[in-house]
Structure 1
Amino acid sequence: MKTVLNRSTKTDTGFLVAKNVLKLSIAGFFIGGFHAQDAWVGLILMLYLAYSLVRKFKNKAEDRYVYLTGSILGGFLGVCCEAWGIYYGHWEYHDLEGRTFPYWLPFAWALAFTFVYQLEKDLFASLGMERTRDKVIRTLMVALIFPTYGEIITIQMGVWTYAWPYQFFGVPLLAIFLLVVFHTGVNYLMVQICRHMGWRNEVFFPA
């Protein structure tokens, strides 16, 4: 019986990972394919984010305030990081007709939070994780693998390039490290916010 349950858990987790890889691939190819029309890409990402938030609040999901707060926090901090990197020439976006900052960036960072958060939440449930140490390790793995994969797609499609050396399919090792720091840092801030507000949540503030 235990073996059957373990196989079922592995199957569910494998399907979950594959589904999210597919979602990330679609998003990456969409941004990559239409990055020269960045205003339209920004509009579509904004509408999708709004749709996701409206659905959360309409259904009165328990994590709706976590979802909204994390989206705003991720979008704001992401824009700050982008402004720093672009200003100092650490990376450069292409095909923007003289501009340096794509319109879609704030919404992409906000959606990056929702993607990572939902994936972590689903993985914790699928694997039955309860120990904090296991959750932290899984969170670090998600922050390491998925954002890097998304960047590889868009970089290979000519959306932007990094100036840093030691690159892996266009993504520098330093950038991979900073992506992990960013996403885990946002998670840490969300932990503090959820504790302060009393928002019980499987990822940031479990009961």
Structure 2
Amino acid sequence: MKKILLEGTLKLVIGGIIIGVLHKYDSLLAVLLFLKIIHSIYKAKKNNTYSIIFIIGMIFTGLIGLLTEYIGTEYGHWQYHEVNTQLPNWLFFAWVGAFVLMYGIEAKINLNYPNLTNKNKQLLVLFMAFFFPSLGEMIAINLGTWTYYWPYQILNLPLLAFFGLTVIHYLIHATLTLMSKKLNITDIVFNPMLLESIKIKQTTR
């Protein structure tokens, strides 16, 4: 499991650096992130970890992210730099990218460690909701992408942002889990009812 988490962390660090370095090239960064998301969808479909909940989760996360960002910037809690609009064009895709990254990590863990208890799964989800979004923001912030105006900061990320990011991503996960179970939709992350059959299909490719 450590290897999977470390690989995910490396991907996140690279993504944070790319956003930090290219944030001034608003449209270019938006296109690059969009292409990366398309590639991730293709990989998920090829590896048979694709489901409609995966797509819903991407759109839902992106929209929740944009709403949060609009409220935060509108009321002066943070501000993006070197853009001509209130919110940069790449922002929706960055939120979607965060969802895709954590989905991929959890999917790998579920496939490789199918006997995890529900308690350990919930602790894993909570850890990822806390660690990955916050680390990504720290990297991008310190490369000049935006500034928070809240007090009590660690590496320019306020404690309130740590809490807010954790709650948002954890609740998104909980909502998608509930939705997939209510609608009886099998998903490798949110409702892995047919996990063994998915693993069998993958080994026969």
TM range (shorter): 0.7 to 0.9
- In the alignment, structure 1 segments of 5+ residues that lack a partner are 1-12
Q: 1:73 aligned to 46, 57, 60, which one?
A: 60
Name which of structure 1's ranges 14-23 and 118-127 shifts more when overlaid on structure 2: 118-127
My pick for the range that moved more, 29-38 or 113-122, is 113-122
Aligned to 1:146: 132
Q: How many residues align?
A: 193
State the alpha-carbon separation in 1 of the partners of residues 124 and 187 from structure 2.
Answer: 16
Provide the residue aligned with 2:165 in structure 1. 179
- The 8 Å contact of residues 129 and 135 in structure 1, kept in 2 or not, is answered as no
Q: Within 1, Cα distance between the matches of 2:94 and 2:54? A: 15
Shift of 1:129: 4.2
Q: Distance in 2 between matches of 1:17 and 1:150?
A: 14
Alignment of structure 1 residues 104-143 onto 2, 5 Å:
104-143=90-129
Asked if structure 2 preserves the Cα contact closer than 8 Å seen for 1:165 and 1:172, the reply is yes
Q: Give the aligned partner of residue 94 of structure 1.
A: 81
Give the superposition deviation at 1:101. Answer: 0.7
Q: CA separation in 2, counterparts of 1:142 and 1:18?
A: 12
- Counterpart code for 1:179: L
Residue 51 of structure 2 aligns with which residue?
A: 64
CA contact (8 A) 1:53 1:64 kept: no
Q: CA deviation at 1:128?
A: 4.2
Gaps of 5+ in 2: 194-205
- Cα-to-partner distance string for 1:68-109 (whole Å, 9 max, x where unaligned): 11111111111111111111111100011x322110001111
State whether structure 2 residue 178 is matched by structure 1 residue 192.
Answer: yes
Number of the residue aligned with 2:70: 83
Which structure has more relative contact order (CA 8 Å, sep 6+)? It is 2
Q: Distance in 1 between matches of 2:75 and 2:188?
A: 38
Deviation at 1:49, TM superposition (A): 1.1
CA shift for structure 1 position 204: 1.6
2:10 corresponds in structure 1 to 22
Cα deviation for residue 116 of structure 1 reads: 1.1
User: What do you get for the CA RMSD once the two structures are aligned?
Assistant: 1.6
**CA pair 194-167 structure 1, distance change in 2 beyond 3 A:** same
Identity of aligned residues (%): 32
Take 2:44 and 2:7, find their aligned partners in 1: how far apart are those partners?
20
SS in 1 for 2:23: helix
The letter of the residue matching 2:150 is W
Per the alignment, residue 8 of structure 1 pairs with none
